[in-house]
Copies of this chain bind each other. A is one copy, B any other.
Amino acid sequence: MKVLIIGGVAAGPKVGAKISRLCPTAEVTLVERGEFLSYAGCGLPYYIAGDVKEQKELMCTPAGVVRDPVFFQNVKNLKVLNRTEAIKIDRNARAVTVRDLRTGSETVLSYDKLVLATGASPVKPPIPGIELPNVFSVHKVEDAEAIRAVLAENKAKDVVIVGGGLIGLEMTEALVRHGARVTIVEKLPYILPLMDVDLIIHTMKYLESKGVKVRCSTSVQSFEGNGRAEKVRTDKGEIPCDMVIVAVGVKPNSGLAKDAGLEIGKTGGIKVSSLMQTSDPFIYAAGDCTEGRNLITGEPCFVPLGSTANKEGRVAAVNVCGGKDFFNGVLGTAVAKIFDHTVARTGLGEEQARAAGFDVVTVLSPAPDKAHYYPTAKTIMMKLIADKKSRRLLGLQVVGPGDGDKRVDVAATAITAKMTVDDVSHLDLAYAPPYSPAMDNIITACDIARNKMDGIFEGVSPSEVKAMIDRKDDMVLLDVRSPAEVQAMPFPGSINIPLGALRMRWQELPKGKEIVTFCKISLRGYEAAMILKGQGFNKVRVMDGGLVMWS
């Protein structure tokens, strides 16, 4: 069996190595356009930051061997042609024309099975000046080297990052740590559109606390300067710069597949079955060049990630070798570290869930990630999205300094298993004070969701409360914090009755009016609502997440 693989970064080498192990007699050739193979693209921001010291660490095995063509030949029995571009697939002849980029000579390679792992490329918006030499993408090793060279010369004092996505944020940390003044320019009203607004505003505040300027709802019109970008012109004024990073997303490299007549999905990725087979049964595809499927909705999606590429590569390899394995989709799980702040999510966001027709219940729950008395406990701000009808958990998002990725991984597992919030609330998760509260954050959030679904109490989001205040609705804002807390952080327009006094003082409140209760995190706010409900008040709601979630 002759297998040809196009693409040598993530999915390609995985497919090749696995085929070679499963089917030692297969003749496997891998073609890669670039110089470097099997490098950790996701590691580039950390190489630029200086966390990773040497380029070769990004392309070594854990045992420290560089993954070059000799390594692939000797260890994996893969014939690797780097700096070689695939230019045409002839599906009838089962052959691919490739061009050696060193010599320009072309060869035709035949195959029994072809695997496309052509990856993705950074989107280059047609902004005048984008070709200036100090305007960079962060996609290839060469990009990282070029940025490092500028940093080494101390020539990046003012950096504009165009795009507030994951890579933009990872680069923000890298550059701030190099002493740069960073401005993020995002054309949408908020950064990180994969996160819900209730949470991401807290990340934006955090970035500003680190001295980063965040300019949302701002469109870049041009990069201008004398031979290099010296300022970024936007629809809201100019920003001086001596370096620009453009990180507005990536698009699948599906041109070769499209030219060969393979089916392309509406996201632009190559359409594949759960076997990772394209519309041509002799051609498989894996990794960033393919279109994914959302595990909850079944909708097509494009979520390029090294983790998914590896999993898809393994599935493709098993099926190429005549086995049977399935990759059914993804949850859009993502995580990023920004200084000491974690942003992570999985499943459906609130709007996504509504658009998919679910009867959405949401929870905002800020809580310490460990026993609250444990000294290293840090806050996780959590948003949970569930379906009232089926009671299924649909999504979980976290921001904050606490250990959020753990809870997102638990949620990703639970969502994949179609667990209800009831199921999750009973999970036997690992508990000791240095690892979690006795009721883990995700369990507490599920219990709040259950209480809402069961009509035990009603929540109101901080943004709705803000709108009610702005509209001057006739309501009572009941703050049940202690007087000391209120003094330290007053909430104008509210009435303060500390929770411990409410059972004596509820008569002070008007029964006819709507009452919104809150405290710091709305745990006491919830208690207060239950006390009032017990006294016959029936228009009481709790501000979701309390003042911690207010911003």
Q: Which residues of A contact B (CB under 8 A)?
A: 10, 20-22, 24-25, 40, 42-43, 46, 51-52, 57-58, 60, 62-63, 65, 71, 74-77, 166, 170, 295, 305-311, 314-315, 323, 325-337, 342, 344, 346, 367-368, 371-375, 403, 405-406, 408-410, 412-414, 416-417, 419, 422-436, 438-440, 443, 447, 454, 456, 481-482, 485, 499-501, 503-504, 519-521, 523-524, 527, 530-531, 533-535
Contact = CB atoms under 8 A, between A and B. Distances in A.
A309 B534 CA distance: 26
A422 B315 CA distance: 11
A529 to B, nearest CB: 9
Contact of A62 (B24, B308, B503, B521): B521
6 contacts: A42-B432, A307-B439, A328-B426, A331-B428, A333-B430, A409-B440
Most buried by B among A429, A436, A482, A530: A429
A443 B74 contact: no
A481 B346 contact: no
Given A75-B499, A413-B427, 20 more contacts: A10-B438, A22-B456, A24-B530, A40-B433, A62-B367, A71-B500, A77-B531, A170-B432, A310-B438, A311-B443, A328-B426, A333-B429, A333-B430, A337-B435, A346-B428, A409-B429, A412-B428, A412-B430, A416-B428, A417-B417
Given A327-B426, A426-B328, A433 B42 contact: yes
B500 A75 contact: yes
Contacts of A520: 63
Contact of A530 (B21, B327, B521): B21
Nearest to A454: B323
A331 B25 CA distance: 44
A518 to B, nearest CB: 13
Contacts of A429: 307, 333, 409, 412-413
A62 B521 CA distance: 10
Nearest to A367: B62
A503 B434 CA distance: 48
Nearest to A305: B431
A409 to B, nearest CB: 5
Contacts of A74: 499-501, 503-504
B63 A337 contact: no
A328 to B, nearest CB: 7
A264 to B, nearest CB: 23
Contacts of A323: 454
A295 B428 contact: yes
Most buried by B among A327, A403, A433, A527: A433
Contact of A373 (B58, B311, B454): B58
B417 A368 contact: no
A198 to B, nearest CB: 19
A32 to B, nearest CB: 18
A430 B194 CA distance: 14
A52 B428 CA distance: 26
B330 A63 contact: no
Contact of A435 (B325, B405, B454, B523): B405
A20 to B, nearest CB: 8
B305 A371 contact: no
Nearest to A375: B51
Contacts of A423: 416-417
Given A311-B425, A328-B426, A530-B24, A51 B306 contact: no
Contact of A337 (B22, B346, B432, B524): B432
A527 B17 CA distance: 9
Contact of A374 (B43, B527, B535): B43
Contacts of A410: 409-410, 413
A368 B334 CA distance: 20
A540 to B, nearest CB: 13
A335 B416 contact: no
A428 B345 CA distance: 11
Given A24-B530, A406-B405, A429-B307, A52 B375 contact: yes
A427 B432 contact: no
B431 A306 contact: yes
Contacts of A405: 406, 430, 435-436
A22 B454 CA distance: 11
A424 to B, nearest CB: 8
B431 A335 contact: yes
A311 B426 contact: yes
A353 to B, nearest CB: 17
A371 B43 contact: yes
The 3 closest A-B pairs by CB, nearest first: A24-B534, A417-B417, A307-B431
A517 to B, nearest CB: 13
A430 B408 contact: yes
Nearest to A528: B75
A433 B43 contact: yes
A308 B412 contact: no
B427 A412 contact: yes
B63 A485 contact: yes
A319 to B, nearest CB: 14
Contact of A63 (B295, B426, B519): B519
